[in-house]
Amino acid sequence: MALDKTQIAQRIAQELQDGYYVNLGIGIPTLVANYIPEGMDVVLQSENGLLGIGPFPEKGKADPDLINAGKQTVTYLPGSAFFDSSFSFAMIRGGHIDLTVLGAFEVTENGDISSWKIPGKMVKGMGGAMDLVAAAKNIIVATTHVDRNGQPKLKKKCDLPLTGVNCVKKIVSDMAVVEVTDKGFKLLERAPGVSVEEIVAATGAPLIIDGEIPEMQF
């Protein structure tokens, strides 16, 4: 059975390592924060100027001067630091963030990603996504495997305007964990109960399938 959003976040959390500085995009990626393994030091960066995002505030304690990049009220943790936007992106562009997790409309077998614009329909802007994908060492996309119309989101070529090229390293979808290799998509894991055939059918580009594909472990 395909994963729900929470499970996608849970699976991505397994990619975290002690000492990681991580930027989590809006949506499913934000949920990853809830599954940081106990005892592991992971510091969350918010590109509007905070290193060390804490949990959402208690009711009545929301501070308008303290929001995340999704404009949600947050808190900060001991050891946090605040800084301006140019410094924040110096941190991102300079490669000091270990991992970026973000959503996508489409991802290609060579790691291109479209995530910010649907011509004629959605014109919200790219925010910090282009900077993040151009600079982070490791970029994981959190997404459903197919779109609302059942069309593959993992493709040979993006149809929508690009956010970045050759940048996505891994995709964790509701159906599979897929690595972007020099030779294209490589299937690493299946969602529990989802078959390799189902994943192949739902993917818009060839999948390298090397031996037995294990189920994700939670």
Partner 1 sequence: MNKVVKNAEEAIADLQSNQTLMLGGFGLSGIPENCINAMVEKGIEGLTCISNNAGVDDFGLGLLLKKHQIKKMISSYVGENKEFERQMLSGELEVELNPQGTLAERIRAGGAGIPAFFVPAGYGTEVAEGKEVRVFDGKPHILERALTADFSIIKAWKGDKAGNLIFRHTANNFNQPMGMAGKITIAEVDELVEVGELDPNQIHLPGVFVQRIFQGVGYEKRIEFETTR
* Residues catalogued as catalytic: 47
CA nearest to 84, candidates 54, 48, 52, 51 = 48
- What string marks each residue from 121 to 140 as x (binds partner 1 by CB under 8 A) or -? --xxxxxxxxx--xx-----
User: Which residue, 64 or 150, has its beta carbon nearer to partner 1?
Assistant: 64
Report d(CA 205, CA 189) in Å as an integer: 17
Report d(CA 2, CA 121) in Å as an integer: 29
Q: What is the largest CA-CA distance in the chain?
A: 54
Which range binds partner 1 by CB under 8 A, 1-9, 88-96, 172-180, 195-203? 88-96
Q: Looking up tokens 């301006």, which residue turns up?
A: 84
End-to-end CA distance of the chain: 14
Which range binds partner 1 by CB under 8 A, 7-15, 67-75, 176-184, 202-210? 67-75
Which residues are registered as beta bridge partners of 164? 113
- Taking CB under 8 A as the criterion, the residue among 27, 70, 152, 184 binding partner 1 is 70
User: Which residue, 67 or 205, has its beta carbon nearer to partner 1?
Assistant: 67
CA nearest to 113, candidates 62, 185, 57, 165 = 165
Which range binds partner 1 by CB under 8 A, 94-102, 192-200, 201-209, 210-218? 94-102
- Taking CB under 8 A as the criterion, the residue among 9, 10, 11, 21 binding partner 1 is 21
CA nearest to 218, candidates 197, 200, 179, 191 = 191
**Shortest spacing between CB 136 and partner 1, in angstroms:** 10
User: Which residue, 62 or 205, has its beta carbon nearer to partner 1?
Assistant: 62
Q: Looking up tokens 């149809």, which residue turns up?
A: 159
| Contact footprint for partner 1 (CB under 8 A) | 18-19, 21, 41, 43, 45-52, 55-68, 70-74, 76, 78-86, 88-97, 112, 123-131, 134-135, 161-166
